Copies of this chain bind each other. A is one copy, B any other.
Amino acid sequence: MSAPSSVPTVPLDAAAVGEALAAMRGHAPLVQCLTNVVVAQWTANVLLAVGASPSMVDNPEEAGPFAAVADGVLVNLGTPQEATVAAMHGAVSAAAAAGTPWVLDPVGVGGLAWRSRVVVDLLAHASPALVRGNPSEILAFAGGGSGGRGPESVDAAEDALDAGRALAREHGTIVAVSGEVDHLTDGTRLVRVANGHRWLTQVTGGGCALGALMAAFAATTDDPLLAATAATATYTVAAEVAAERAAGPGSFAVALLDSLATLNPQELTEKVVLR
């Protein structure tokens, strides 16, 4: 925890972000998504478009064995049921044993008591490589907010930054707070990604799929903060490109899949806005 240890070992510049995309595509990581039924299709299509390999094995019998061979695991709390929560436990436990990075997206945590306990129980297995949420969720997770009433946040990313930093240090993880400007921190370093488009908030799973993308990058990038940054940059730069060809949230979502498939590392490096 001394000062030198907080110096980035991988420079978080625009070139590194482009290289991380190339590396991720080169590996085509197998990402197991234990996610909600609303966004499962969108999440799989985002991963397929960008060049990763999704699998949604989420039953209690198979989730653990599958996580043992997956390259990355996403746990998203959007629509948990008793069986899928049991599957999450199996997957997180197996991922921890295998040293496989897992990403936690604590949708709706804080406002809903049952899933808040589920999150606490999951963290007992191992810390996630990354936690991704909107400001309300991060505040609630860190004990400082209500979590809002629904999947939408009532706070700004800036407001959740201190909570995010504390959370990152407590669990030795990266915390990614979504917003107009995304804030990513490992508790010491901070990266702001200032790309994106408002239509992302009008596509269900707009944020959830980013969690899956983070698992894909975490599987192929040594520095988890760079993984979070490259995933966010890839998704939000592709969103900007897509918005230019769209007439509303419907055509935007379609164009986003096209953009994710065609975005190349050089274009990503040129367009990402890091602060």
Q: Which residues of A are in contact with B by a Cβ distance under 8 Å?
A: 30, 36-42, 44-45, 48-49, 53-59, 61-62, 65-66, 69-70, 78-83, 108, 112-115, 149-152, 201-205, 246-251, 253-262
Contact = CB atoms under 8 A, between A and B. Distances in A.
Contacts of A246: 258
B258 A203 contact: no
Nearest to A258: B248
The 3 closest A-B pairs by CB, nearest first: A250-B257, A248-B258, A44-B204
B202 A61 contact: no
Contact of A55 (B40, B55, B150): B150
Nearest to A31: B150
Given A41-B42, A53-B152, 10 more contacts: A57-B112, A62-B114, A202-B261, A246-B258, A247-B262, A249-B257, A249-B261, A250-B253, A251-B257, A253-B254
A49 B250 CA distance: 8
A261 B113 CA distance: 33
Contacts of A256: 250
Identical chains bound together, number: 3
Contact of A149 (B70, B257, B258, B260): B70
A11 to B, nearest CB: 31
A258 B250 contact: yes
Contacts of A258: 246-251
B55 A151 contact: yes
Nearest to A83: B81
Given A83-B81, A250-B256, A251-B255, A108 B57 contact: yes
Contact of A249 (B41, B45, B65, B152): B45
Contacts of A48: 201-204, 249
A205 B41 contact: yes
Contacts of A41: 38-39, 41-42, 204-205
